């Protein structure tokens, strides 16, 4: 295996399909803005990182959620939202990414920020993206997230908002904990969105649960998922793995995230190579690079070091991601020659 170094990995041109914009805040920006929104920073740099970042495998979900909420408090104004969207695109471009899909939950950002309506949130993020695209040669698509854990009436409001803004959203997503939240409930909403012209990707099969593989199948059959966010637990069920392979449903795999959330106990146990060898369409993604203090190249480094990924493996995954991207064809085609 030819040795790849950090600078080589960063120079590889990449496509990223699964990155949460609201969890992609630059560390320096987070530390700068936290005091301005009333967050008292811990006295030392190390303690500040412990206050906000997840850099070790999760043991206590409550403390992890608190870190997400601490970072969320910073998303307090339209100006800040435009800035973090611009910086997320800039950071992605500098990491070699040329096609980037960013997803966010309007309900997550709006929580505790009474002045931020869905409209204000979306326009601010959209403006930041557009500003970045004027400066960097990068194609960007926004995905709207519906939070499973919210009441149905809230989910309905979010879906209607996404449909009303389908000119600036490329897709709809369903996220948060799958356990105890039957996807059938959301079927009419996702069917409505699909009919309106939005693509569908669903967070599913992330948690190590015996039912996880069946949730992935339900996400495709009931919610109309064209891609699956994570989906790695299909290795637990050969029938579902074959179903996903035969349907050519790409998986948005996030190796470092899967380790930090303990979807698998070690990097070595991660099934990405098994999935590829089985013929499943696999893409590589960073998930929450702000909160994890990573970038997509870090995920590549792990796959190279632990799973012996070569330049050709990365190229194949990026070609899959290019074709699977929901970014409009006219925008994608400008970059085709870079990946094929």
Give the chain's domains with CATH numbers: 6-339 (3.20.20.140)
- The alpha carbon torsion through 25, 31, 37, 42 (nearest 10 deg) reads 130
With beta carbons less than 8 A apart as the criterion, state whether 103 and 173 touch.
yes
Q: For residue 54, is it left (φ>0), alpha (ψ between -120 and 50) or beta?
A: beta
pLDDT for 1 equals 59
What local confidence, expressed as pLDDT, does residue 292 receive? 94
* Structure confidence at residue 103 (pLDDT): 98
- At which residue do the structure tokens 């059938």 appear? 184
pLDDT at res. 219: 97
The predicted pLDDT at position 60 comes to 52
* CA–CA distance, 67 with 74 (Å, rounded to integer): 12
Q: pLDDT tens digits, the chain, 340 residues: what are they? A: 567 887 799 999 999 999 999 999 999 999 999 999 999 999 999 999 988 899 999 875 556 667 788 889 999 999 999 999 999 999 999 999 999 999 999 999 999 999 999 999 999 999 999 999 999 999 999 999 999 999 999 999 999 999 999 999 999 999 988 888 888 899 999 999 999 999 999 999 999 999 999 999 999 999 999 999 999 999 999 999 999 999 999 999 999 999 998 999 999 999 999 999 999 999 999 999 999 999 999 999 999 999 999 999 999 999 999 999 999 999 999 999 999 9
For residue 200, the cross-strand partners are 172
- Output the pLDDT for position 45: 92
pLDDT given for residue 62 in this prediction? 55
> Is the separation of the CB atoms in 159 and 172 below 8 Å?
yes
CA distance 96 to 115: 36
**Which residue has 């505790």 as its token pair?**
112
The whole-number pLDDT of residue 58 equals: 81
Q: Are the beta carbons of 67 and 54 closer than 8 angstroms?
A: yes
| Angstrom distance (rounded) from CA 258 to CA 270 | 8
The per-residue DSSP string of 229-270 comes to EE-GGGGG-HHHHHHHHHTT--EEE-HHHHHHTTSSSSTTT-
Q: Residue 31 and residue 106: Cα distance in Å, rounded? A: 23
Residue 63 to residue 57: CA distance in whole angstroms: 12
């Amino acid at each position: 295996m030819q040795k790849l170094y950090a600078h080589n990995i960063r120079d590889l041109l990449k496509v990223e399909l699964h990155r949460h914009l609201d969890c992609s805040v630059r560390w320096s920006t987070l530390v700068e803005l936290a005091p301005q929104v009333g967050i008292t920073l811990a006295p030392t740099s190390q303690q500040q990182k412990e206050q906000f970042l997840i850099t070790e495998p999760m043991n206590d979900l409550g403390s992890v959620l608190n870190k997400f909420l601490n970072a969320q408090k910073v998303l307090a104004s339209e100006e800040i939202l435009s800035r973090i969207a611009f910086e997320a695109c800039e950071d992605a471009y500098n990491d070699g990414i040329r096609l980037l899909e960013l997803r966010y939950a309007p309900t997550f950002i709006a929580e505790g920020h009474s002045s931020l309506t869905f409209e204000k949130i979306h326009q601010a993020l959209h403006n930041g993206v557009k500003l970045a695209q004027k400066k960097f040669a990068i194609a960007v698509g926004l995905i709207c997230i519906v939070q499973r854990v919210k009441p149905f009436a809230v989910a309905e409001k979010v879906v209607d908002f996404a449909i009303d803004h389908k000119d600036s959203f490329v897709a709809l997503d369903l996220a948060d904990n799958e356990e105890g939240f039957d996807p059938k409930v959301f079927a009419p909403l996702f069917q409505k969105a699909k009919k309106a012209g939005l693509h569908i990707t669903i967070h599913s099969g992330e948690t190590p649960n015996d039912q996880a593989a069946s949730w992935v199948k339900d996400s495709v059959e009931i919610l109309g998922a064209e891609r699956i966010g994570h989906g790695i637990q299909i290795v637990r069920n050969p029938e579902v793995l074959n179903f996903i392979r035969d349907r050519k449903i790409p998986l948005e795999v996030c190796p470092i995230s899967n380790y930090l959330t303990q979807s698998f106990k070690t990097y070595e146990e991660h099934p990405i190579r098994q999935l590829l060898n089985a013929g499943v369409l696999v893409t590589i993604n960073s998930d929450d690079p702000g909160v994890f203090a990573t970038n997509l190249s870090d995920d590549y480094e792990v796959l190279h070091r632990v799973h012996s990924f070569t330049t050709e493996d990365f190229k194949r995954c990026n070609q899959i991601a290019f074709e699977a991207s929901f970014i409009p064809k006219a925008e994608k085609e400008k970059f085709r020659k870079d990946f094929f």
